[in-house]
Structure 1
């Protein structure tokens, strides 16, 4: 509308009122931008694999892939037997099974966390010092040689008094070793476990500040995941959601909230037989985490199952069905990442993830294509839905469930176009195909 046309339209509120409102809300605008920047638009791994520090070697990643493939060969050597074992739709079985095997050969682990906490235990200081230094060397070599997982890092001991100094020293040794080997890898991930108070998160942020200053790194270069394993991390003594405070206490460094199935369940008194990611207590904790993290750019991860797919084939199949079902369940609840504790979990992790994206692919791509072209259809989608559709397709591409060519063909969008819809606040033009 031209200015002359605007001047002909009658209004009643003086222009100064709008200016006054804008000035009064400027601090709120800034606060919204600071606290809720939206999703970072980077790849989120579908899982995190935990390996004790003393067990981690240069061959760990390939070993996990080979052991997972061997489990398939022994217990489900073809698509039909695998689909029957896990309860998968037979119509998807051939494609999914082939993609699972290809994934295990190409990229068996998406995110590896070398564990210095529960999986490692308390060791003599010289031993943990040496393990931390060796871990840094092996991870640096893996990134240098192109053999690394997309994401790699460590889980240190927590900030509780009994192990605080040990955790700080291990993290320092690890990060120093990485920094001396060359630039820190983009896929570096750090995990702070057993957090109960926001002040412990602030302490972790302060520790990383000090390391960046000592090494001459850009402020804020290092981020970390917060592990939610205690009741105090979800609900504070005053009844507020502690986890929301923790995100702010990280001062922009928090990258994820990871649910700890067994520590959290035990903290609430759940008996061992019922400690699982589908327990009502787990659903409540993850829902609080999800709401606290929404819009902040912090991702939420589910925990793990401790039922291992080992032993005779019927026992392996039972464990696979359980893991496959739990993975599908949390994907539907928008928790796109979980933990895997055994190589035998990899086939069902990837099978559940791939089937989740493939069975909804055609509909999601068609809806986004109609939205991008402003074509009427059987759903009236809004920008928020377009963001969700684009994000869904991008996650499918990242993990290998979908291929770029088929997505471009069905959605009419390149990856850049999908990213424009998924993260319009990051400078893309929403509604414009790429």
Structure 2
């Protein structure tokens, strides 16, 4: 057949066959859409900071930033010394150091949780009542004044019997205080700790439904994170993955799964000296969490280190290197969020995050550009990879590691373009190029 001649197209199946198959799979299609809506496309904070309810104050965010800057001034006063501590490549030293300082000056905390659980402990009811009301007032004022972190909320006590009523009351006081002060902020995040059974998640859903009804809020307005801190949250008595049941029990309200390093490790009998986020037991739990959450729109967060960067410079440097290494390890495993327990942890949090995105920027941007332009290269990328590449660039932009001008310079793409490649429609295997 000559070049350019039209091929003869023939089929054997009647059109009714395709229609019948589509009709039979319609319930599956609906189930896929309901259970696996995909990533929400919103910003995910790179960390969560927990501050006890009695310690949280109007200046907490600024205070953490100032303490972090002071630690840099004392223990790594310039780009070269900071890079030497962390082992940063020469070409990353200046941009990472400059961006870390800028971040600490303008947005030192991305996500803050006022803690009424382990970090707060048991208190007289009147004292916790007052602290919860105070937290609501301060959070509301922070958003009104523009001094809030992008995300803020509380960690209540869990749904276990001894503290259940106290946790419910604290949550009620906090949410009611926000409503009385003007409404729920867009960045509101709630954390339900020590979840062991899916029924506890169901109870949280019912609780939030009743609050929404009481205040005539849109159903589903309030979401929450599920904290994974017990073995029962990973593996049920019948051998199934409990955490997958928890996500479904949340009925679309679950926003995150947060790994609790120390409670989970202790639950498995790991000795205190070996309780860390890179322990094999931690890797197993987070891998289960990651698979269960994939495609559901629920984000996974790593835990924390309890080795604090305090004391003489040598000890600070050791703790910084540990924290930096654990953060980089988590990022490579697609755990893009973690916990920070001390103001001096956040310089290395941001250093690790910024280095991760900056060192891979040119390659990711170039690969995405070749994909978009259908150009050849040494890597054959597919739509799924284009999704990962654009998601990588968007995360870098959200945290401040990258600037949209430099991304546009290399890729020729706008943020809207990147978002389109990061969230293609289900089943779209072509993701049309420009």
Establish whether TM, by shorter chain, passes 0.5: yes
Which residue matches 2:3? none
SS at match of 1:139: helix
Decide which moves more: 211-220 or 179-188.
Answer: 179-188
**For residues 292 and 275 of structure 1, what CA distance do their matches in structure 2 show?**
24
Counterpart Cα distance in 2 of 1:342 and 1:181: 30
Partner of 2:349: 349
Please give the alpha-carbon distance, in whole angstroms, between the structure 1 residues aligned to 2:386 and 2:96.
Answer: 26
**Per-residue deviation, 1:432:** 4.9
Aligned residues: 429
Q: State the distance in 2 between where 1:134 and 1:320 align.
A: 33
Secondary structure of 1:420's counterpart equals helix
Query: Is the aligned partner of 1:417 residue 2:417?
Result: yes
Q: Give the CA deviation at 1:266.
A: 0.1
**8 A Cα contact 2:371 2:433, kept in partner:** no
Alignment of 1:23-42 (within 5 A): 23-42=23-42
* Cα deviations by residue, 1:246-299 (Å, 9 ceiling, x for unpaired): 000000000000000000000000000000000000000000000000000000
Give the conservation status (yes or no) of the 8 Å contact 1:421–1:431: no
Structure 2 equivalent of residue 242 of structure 1: 242
Contact 2:364 2:389 in 1 (8 A): yes
Q: Which runs of 5+ in 1 are unaligned?
A: 1-5
Note if 1:65 corresponds to 2:65: yes
How far apart are 1:183 and its partner, in Å? 2.7
Q: Residues 323-350 of structure 1, C-alpha deviation per residue, up to 9 Å, x if partnerless? A: 0000000000000000000000000000
Counterpart residue number, 2:148: 148
What is the rounded CA distance, in whole Å, between the counterparts of 1:26 and 1:339 in structure 2?
A: 41
1:48–1:110 Cα contact (<8 Å) kept: yes
Please say if 1:368 is aligned against 2:368: yes
Q: How far has the Cα of 1:322 moved from its partner?
A: 0.2
Asked if 1:78 is matched to 2:84, the reply is no
Q: Distance in 1 between matches of 2:255 and 2:117?
A: 19
> What SS is found at the alignment partner of 2:240?
coil
2:43 match: 43
2 CA distance for matches of 1:253 and 1:97? 38
Instruction: Give the drift of 1:59.
Output: 0.2
The answer to whether the 8 Å contact 1:197/1:246 transfers is yes
Deviations along 1:299-333, one digit per CA (max 9) or x if unpaired, are: 00000000000000000000000000000000000
1:310–1:316 Cα contact (<8 Å) kept: yes
Residues 245-260 of structure 1 mapped to structure 2, 5 A cutoff: 245-260=245-260
Contact between 1:155 and 1:191, CA under 8 Å: does it hold in 2? yes
Between the aligned partners of 1:76 and 1:100, the Cα distance in structure 2 is 12
Residue aligning to 1:431:
432
Q: Please state whether the residue corresponding to 1:425 is helix, strand or coil.
A: coil
**Residues 261 and 304, structure 1, Cα contact 8 Å, conserved in 2:** yes
Alignment of 1:5-404 (within 5 A): 9-404=9-404
Unaligned runs of 5+ in 2: 1-5
For 2:425, what is the secondary structure of its paired residue?
helix
TM-score under structure 1 length normalisation? 0.97
Q: Deviation per CA, 1:24-69, whole angstroms, max 9, x where unpaired?
A: 1000000000000000000000000000000000000000000000
Q: Quick one: distance in 1 between partners of 2:209 and 2:150?
A: 25
Alpha-carbon distance, 1:180 to partner: 1.2
The CA RMSD measured in Å over matched residues stands at: 1.6
How far apart are residue 7 of structure 1 and its match?
12
CA–CA distance in structure 2, aligned partners of residues 144 and 348 of structure 1? 30
Contact 2:320 2:345 in 1 (8 A): yes
Change (3 A) 1:11 1:331: same
**8 Å Cα contact 2:80/2:93 also seen in 1:** yes
Contact 1:417–1:432 at 8 Å: present in 2 too?
no
Instruction: Tell me the residue number matched to 1:3.
Output: none
| SS of corresponding position for 2:113 | strand
Contact 1:159 1:195 in 2 (8 A): yes
Report the CA distance between 1:8 and its aligned residue.
Answer: 6.5
8 A Cα contact 1:235 1:241, kept in partner: yes
Cα shift at 1:212: 0.5
CA distance in 1, matches of 2:298, 2:87: 33
- TM-score scaled to structure 2, two decimals? 0.97
Give me the whole-angstrom Cα distance separating, in 1, the residues matched to 2:10 and 2:151. Answer: 59
Distance 1:408 1:183 in 2: 37
